[in-house]
Structure 1
Amino acid sequence: MKLIYTCMLLLAAYSSAYSQNSFSGIVKDLDTGEPIFSATVYFPQLEKGTVTEMDGSFSLSNLPEGKYKLVISTVGYASFSEEIRVPSETRSFSLKPAAVEMEEVIISTPFHQLQSDNVMKVERENMKELNKKGALNLSDGITQIAGVESVTTGVGIGKPVIRGLSSNRVLVYTQGIRLENQQYGDEHGLGISAKGIGSIEVIKGPASLLYGSDAIGGVLYLNPESYAYAGKTEAEAGADYFSNTRGYQASAMAKTSGKKLKFLTRGSYAAHSDYKTGNDIRVTNTRFSEKDLKAGIGFQESKYKGNLRYNYNQSEIGIPEEIGIQSTDKDVLLPYQKIDNHILSLDNSIYLKNSSLNLKLGYQFNNRKEFEEEHEGEEHSEEEHTGEGPALEMHLETLNYNLQYNLPKTGNFETILGLQGMEQNNSNFGEEILIPDARTSDIGVFATTHYHLENWDLQGGLRYDHRNIDSEEFGEDNQEHFIPAVNRDFNSLNGALGVKYQFDRKLITRLNLATGFRAPNLSELTSNGVHHGANRYETGNTNLKNEQNFQVDLSVEWRNKHFEASVNAFHNQVNDYIFLDPTGETIENSEVFEYTQQDARLYGGEAGVHIHPHPLDWLHLESSFEMVTGKLQNDEYLPLIPASSLTNTLRVELENKNEKITEKYGFLRLKNVFAKENISRFETTTPAYALLSVGFGSTVNLSSSKIDFSISGTNLLDKAYISHLSRLKSDNIANIGRNIKFSVSWNL
């Protein structure tokens, strides 16, 4: 830790006694030579950009000397990428008109490239676009990304599933640091508001090389909304209404940036009643509310960039158990969770002549309280619980650090060396415990390199990790619910190798081989009691070993000005896969499950087609298919594997013929989910169903502001269905029925 504190002091004391460099240019249409207004000009490595003026010109100042990749992008044109030397003379850039979707820079991979340049295929979606499609919250929104689903408990609790793996096998990153909020529980949601999230990136498959333990299934990377460009001030106020849950959400944001300093703040509040199924039944105690505050301060000059961000999220979420009272109240009933989550991150970068040093630090405090059935029948309030307190209260404190050095580029090689780690403490204050008081220490070192040729790109690396888990004894030996002390060390060496070949500008192939690992978590090692949120008695296994996996991932993409198609196949072998197995016993009226291990394999993939016929650039026909199969070594099927699905979308984006009303769009989407019959021995089959969605919206431009509005409807036919990944499925409780979402935002 002394090394980290020393680095912090060096970064804080870093002076600005370096020359101030600038870069300017003009962006034009390749065919007509006309200037392009409002194109984004961005240096990914420097995380600095601007937009072009009416005459297509732009200018960026306070840039470090060296060679950096420049990306220029805007709707209706193919994204441009080229390495630029700073300082340099004024340049002219020409963009080629294209009907394909605008490419964005991928942040979750180490070299910050456009998707078409990336060796690893990463799915990226703008959060604003996902919200337009009627998402209730963040966990609902991510299910619109191919290969991503969610294990749900009602509509207020959702956990991401990437190609059949979830919980501690999918790592979530926010504000550039790993999210730690007791993810091991099926009924423990993300605890992050969609408001203030700019975009979502999904790495499918093992990413231990970059992120260490817990990323064997993939990474969900949440990019916070960006600051305003230099010299700009922006403000936004918006509201959403959800017909099914009688829910509402309000949010307000303000941000401003000078030449060096930047400020951003956003507050939001949401409240929902119990959701209604397609059978016209409200599911008792699926109500929830959420308060969220996000703030940021940024500083940037030619050689140093600092970004301090803070997020506070408080949520109260009912835990449904059975159909009971039919109500549209928004105050939660018992049992329920009350969760406070604080995330503080500091991102520092020093830019040298042809290299850079980056240090990310994060502190998180998660306070999870659960109030249980013994209080049932009383009106809940904070005052009433003051005496007895919650049945369960856990405090989780986490310090993350990530130090990376981008070496000077040597020929066609770009190389990064890294040191990552985590210090974590779990403490109990409630009447019951799920996991004991414990300390977890992580440290990992890695190196990764990228080799670029005209048509070939290769990327590979190695990483070594060490994790120590040291827990305290709970209770008395030979007594009920006794948990012995555990002190275990886990080590793993992992690597990755990927290659991308571009046959021409139309066809790209990628092959990625990667290993990953996951150390068993506290719950798997030490559990010995009833987990009320999951309605089962869980017993841990102190002898569990690392999960270790190896995945082969092959993708092929083909595109021209009218048509895009992609196929992505994978095979994931997981050795010593940890899972809960029913013993057939009953304790305290709850079925007993014990943690055990067995080799497993998962395989499947995604395929997609996007037709945008020229000259009908406003018309888009999209189709995507996804499937995954998971089996244990004994040929039994794994639990909580999503059903295969086919999604077809008709999307219209009309040209801006009227300056007052712009960005007009509409969509019609049909998602067909196939029957799930390959199930584990303690699951039941799930019948097929189809969900119809529709939406439209536009932007109204006023003299100095604009108003965005949209209307979308999901499950428009009010289908009564049950998702295979619903935790309410065992009680035969259907998912949410028809929901109409009305959204409006005012942007200054």
Structure 2
Amino acid sequence: MKIIFSVLLLIAMPSLYSQNNLNGVITDKTTNEAIIFANVYFPQLEKGTTTDENGSFSLTNIPTGTYKIVVSIIGYETLSQNITFPYTDILNVQLNPSAIEMEEVIVSTPFHKLQSENVMKVEQEKISDLKSKGAVTLADGLSNIAGVETVTTGVSIGKPVIRGLSSNRVLVYTQGVRLENQQFGDEHGLGLNDAGIESVEVIKGPASLLYGSDALGGVLYFNPERFAQNNTSSGDISANYYSNTQGYNTNAGFKSSGEKFKYIFRGSLAEHSDYKTNSYRVTNTRFREQDFKAALGYQVNNFKTELRYNLNSSKLGIPEEIGEQSTNRAPLLPYQNITNHILSSKSTVFFNNSSLDINLGLLYNDRKEFEEEHHHDDEDEEDEHEEHEEETLDAALHMKLKTFNYDIKYNLPKLGKFETIVGVQGMSQNNANYGEEELIPDATTNDIGILATSHIHFEKADIQLGARFDNRTISVVDGLNKKFNSFNGAIGVKTNIANQITARLNLASGFRAPNLAELTSDGTHEGTNRYEIGNPNLNNEQNFQIDLALEYKNEHLELFANGFYNIVNDYIFLSPNGDVIDDTDVYLYLQDDAKLYGGEIGFHLHPHPLDWLHFESSFETVTGKQNNNDSYLPLIPANSLNNTVRVEYNTKWLDKGYAFIKLNSTFKQNNVSGFETTTSGYDLLSVGFGGIVKLFDNELSIAISGSNLTDKEYINHLSRLKPEGIYNMGRNFNIGLTYTL
């Protein structure tokens, strides 16, 4: 802690370094014409602007040192280069026309490069693109990313799955800090709302080098919306309607930036009734979610900082069986009432040729679950399915999780071809129970990790390598004390093995310490209808993954093939032992070595000169097995094939217009664990269109889509309602409007 306080004192010191300005012009390389509205951005400084009608731009108050500048606009190749300040010349940038999608800087990896420059393969998707395809919730939208699925409980509760690994094996980052919200539970969702989130990045594979325990299976990194450009203000209001749930979400925000201070305010509200299949509504899948986000930024001299806060409150029905058929939005018993507070700060001190990054987070998760048997005894049975006021109920389960985490990294001065980062990360966490039931005990968890990683740029290849040591201690109130240590490393190389063919080979290890549920459970878990018995002698899960990614790009076609082989030692899993307690089957937490393998392949065709026409196709597969008896692992998603035809166009009245038709084919899942059943395959058809129109001199974005157009009755293999034979959502139409002020 002394290190942290010393660093904070350093931040408080005024900078003594000079500031610089940059002027430049952006033109088309083939025509030499000025490019209007091109984005000019310094990722490290989080400072940017756009070009004027002459293709010119100007940026002020740039600290001395070397920084990456990124210039991008739709229809051109994204340019990335380093500039050393003081820089007194006019920067002349020429962009190459291209039909390939505009690149963004990858934030989840340490050196903040474009994906084309990155050694690791990282998927990045804009949240607006996921929503335009009709996603009802943030978790629902993640399933549109190759290699990512979700374990769902209805529509409101979804847990990400990356290449067959989920729960505590997938780490979620938001506002620059790791999200901690009792994610071990099968029926515990993300607790995040898409309002105020700009994009998501997915690392598919062990990322313990960068993030420590729980990143064994991969990372979902949510990027918050950027501040407004200097000396500008903007606001927006949006609304979405979903026909299937007769639900809606609304969202309004305002942001403004001066030379030094900047701020954002955003609020949203969502309400949905029970979702509908072709035959019935699924009782108690209704939910209500309120979300508020605020951000304050300050930048001066060689120091920048931002403070962000997110309050998310949700009331989620927990479906059990098909019963009442209505379109009421107030959840029935049982239901969850969850409040998430996330307070984070992100600061950087810039020196002449190095910088210090400090990310701090305070998280508070208040989770309550209400069950029917805890309702007043004097009510008739028929009244149990009426709307209940929370103040008349006692929570059967009530847990409060408080977490402080820190992430401090020093970006060393560049030494020849070497870029190097050293850092320390840690977490202090306390769980406390206040309800009648106890899912996991009162306990304190402390983490600390030390890491170093380097990026080496050669003429024909880029290499990234690093090592890390972690220590975790878990102290349970009743006396159980556990300590877990792990040493991990990673090495990767990116090179062009032929003309227009890029290869990435990454080898990495990861680990996951057992969570409290796995160590200490001893009781009935109502959400899964199991009597679970923990194992205090569990070891770390330790894995090693080989990942190979190949890409081919030309002006007409992009091809990709990603393959992985993941060895997981001491994989933790639940298994029935044949006993019954309280009329519930007993499950034990056991360990065995396991392996997962598979990958994704696909193509994107945009034939020149028909650059407005796009054909996209991707196939993904994963297989997971235990080594001891060669049995299959649970919750492995079925193989799937996605085919999309998309057109992009502009007219006199519609800007950035688009339309698409998509066919998602999910195959049979016959490779199941001992207590799963097989799942039939199905095809889902979706369409959508949209664009931007001018309304009162401002932009109105319109997105209209329809999913499961044939109203197919199907069950996803990762649905927690599958044992009851309950179908997933039927036909749904979505209308979304966003008006920019």
Task: Tell me the TM-score normalised to structure 2 length.
Answer: 0.98
- What's the counterpart of residue 367 of structure 2? 368
Instruction: For residue 50 of structure 1, report the CA deviation from its aligned partner.
Output: 1.4
1:657, distance to aligned residue in structure 2 (A): 4.1
| Corresponding residue for residue 381 of structure 2 | none
Q: Give the drift of 1:378.
A: 5.5
Counterpart residue type for residue 101 of structure 2: E
Give 3-state SS (helix, strand or coil) of 2:143's partner: helix
Residue in structure 1 matched with residue 467 of structure 2 by the alignment: 462
1:281 partner letter: Y
Per-residue CA deviation, residues 644-698 of structure 1 (Å, 9 max, x unaligned), is 00000000111x342x420110000000000000110111110110000000001
Specify which of 615, 619, 626 is matched with residue 613 of structure 2: 619
For residue 263 of structure 1, what is the aligned residue in structure 2?
263
Q: 1:15: how far off?
A: 1.1
**Which position in structure 1 is the counterpart of 2:689?**
696
Q: Which residue of 2 aligns with 1:380?
A: 388
Alignment of 1:388-399 (within 5 A): 389-399=394-404
Question: Contact 1:343/1:362 (CA < 8 Å) preserved in 2?
Answer: yes
2:574 aligned partner, one-letter code: L
Deviations 1:228-284 (A, max 9, x none): 11111010001000000010100001000011111101000000000011x331000
The alpha-carbon deviation at position 71 of structure 1 amounts to: 1.0
1:718 and 2:688 aligned: no
Q: Is the counterpart of residue 214 in structure 1 residue 214 in structure 2?
A: yes
Equivalent of residue 734 in structure 1, options 705, 710, 727: 727
Aligned equivalent of 2:542: 548
Bigger drift between 66-75 and 430-439 goes to: 66-75
| Amino acid paired to 1:510 | R
Q: Does 1:52 align with 2:51?
A: yes
Please give the alpha-carbon distance, in whole angstroms, between the structure 1 residues aligned to 2:286 and 2:396: 20
Report what 2:2 is aligned to: 2
Partner of 1:112: 112
Query: What are the equivalent positions in structure 2 for 1:426-437 lying under 5 Å apart?
Result: 426-437=431-442
SS of the equivalent of 1:687 reads: coil
1:663-702 to 2 correspondence within 5 Å? 663-702=656-695
Residue of structure 1 equivalent to 2:13: 14
1:639 aligns with 2:637: no
SS in 1 for 2:116: helix
1:294-350 deviation line (CA, Å, top 9, x unaligned): 110011123001010000000000000000000100000000000000000000100
2:503 paired with 1:495: no
Contact 1:294–1:311, Cα closer than 8 Å, also in 2: yes
Contact 2:330–2:387 (8 Å) recurs in 1: no
Tell me, yes or no, if structure 1 residue 324 matches structure 2 residue 313.
no
Matches of 1:590 and 1:693, distance apart in 2:
41
CA positional deviation for 1:505? 6.1
5+ residue gaps, structure 1, are: 474-484
Structure-2 separation of matches of 1:97 and 1:302: 36
For 2:90 and 2:142, the matched residues in 1 are separated by 41
Return the letter of the residue paired with 2:508.
A
* Separation in structure 2 between the aligned mates of residue 241 and residue 443 of structure 1, nearest angstrom: 45
Q: What is the Cα deviation at residue 102 of structure 1?
A: 0.6
Q: Does 1:578 align with 2:572?
A: yes
* Structure-1 residue corresponding to 2:599: 605
- Whether contact under 8 Å (1:23, 1:87) holds in the other structure is no
Instruction: Using the TM superposition, give the Cα deviation of residue 377 of structure 1 relative to its aligned residue in structure 2, in angstroms.
Output: 4.3
Hey, what does 1:359 align to over in structure 2? 358
**Shift in Å, 1:184:** 0.1
After superposition, what is the alpha-carbon deviation per residue over 1:110-148, rounded to whole angstroms, capped at 9, x for unaligned? 000000000000000000111100000100001000000
- 2:124 is matched with 124
Per-residue deviation, residues 435-494 of structure 1 (Å, max 9, x unmatched): 000000000000000000122000000000000000012xxxxxxxxxxx3100000000
C-alpha distance in structure 2 between counterparts of 1:340 and 1:722, whole Å = 30
Q: Name 2:103's counterpart in structure 1.
A: 103
Q: Is the 8 A contact 1:63 1:301 kept in 2?
A: no
**Are the aligned partners of 2:17 and 2:64 in contact in 1 as well (CA < 8 Å)?**
no
The aligned counterpart of 2:379 is: none
Match of 1:718, SS state, is: coil
Superposed CA offset, 1:578-631 (max 9, x none): 000011111112111110000000000001100000011100000000000000
Verify: 1:297 aligned to 2:309, yes or no. Answer: no
Counterpart of 1:451 in structure 2 is 456
More moved, 43-52 vs 102-111: 43-52
Runs of 4+ in 1 over 6 A off after TM superposition: none
| Residue of 640, 644, 656 corresponding to 1:649 | 644
**Deviation at 1:47?**
2.0
Query: Structure 1 residue 590 and structure 2 residue 596: aligned?
Result: no
Q: Is this contact kept in 2: 1:21–1:302, CA < 8 A?
A: no
What is the 5 A alignment of 1:68-147? 68-88=67-87, 89-147=89-147
Q: Is the contact made by 2:255 and 2:265 (CA closer than 8 Å) also made in structure 1? A: yes
Task: Determine the structure 1 residue equivalent to 2:32.
Answer: 33
Contact 1:455-1:503 at 8 Å conserved across structures? no
SS in 1 for 2:503: strand
Select 1:526's aligned residue among 517, 520, 528. 520
- Measured after TM superposition, the shift of residue 16 of structure 1 is 4.1
1:273 aligns with 2:273: yes
Structure 2 match to 1:408: 413
Match of 1:476 in 2: none
C-alpha RMSD of the superposition: 1.0
**TM-score, structure 1 length as denominator?**
0.97
Instruction: Please report how far the alpha carbon of residue 199 of structure 1 lies from its aligned counterpart in structure 2 after TM superposition.
Output: 0.2
**Mapped partners of 1:686, 1:403: distance in 2:** 46
Which of 33-42 and 596-605 deviates more? 33-42
Q: Give the AA of the match of 2:567.
A: Q
Q: Distance in 2 between matches of 1:666 and 1:379?
A: 41
- Structure 2: 5+ residue stretches without partners: 376-383
Identity over aligned residues, as a percent?
Answer: 59
CA drift of 1:431 comes to 0.6
8 Å contact from structure 2 (residues 172, 179) kept in 1: yes
Give the partner amino acid of 1:393: H
Alignment deviations for residues 201-254 of structure 1 (CA, whole Å, 9 cap, x no partner): 000000000000000100000000111111110100010000000101000010
- Kindly state the Cα deviation for residue 703 of structure 1 after the two structures are TM-superposed: 5.2
Question: Matches of 1:143 and 1:189 in 2, distance apart?
Answer: 14
Secondary structure in 2 matching 1:144: coil
Query: Which residue identity lines up with residue 2 of structure 2 in the other structure?
Result: K
Alpha-carbon displacement from aligned partner over 1:170-210 (angstroms, at most 9, x marks no partner):
00000000000000001000000011110000000000000
CA distance in 1, matches of 2:282, 2:137: 18
Tell me the residue number matched to 1:479.
none
- Does residue 61 in structure 1 map to residue 63 in structure 2? no
Aligned partners of 2:575 and 2:588 also within 8 Å: yes
Q: Distance in 1 between matches of 2:575 and 2:654?
A: 58
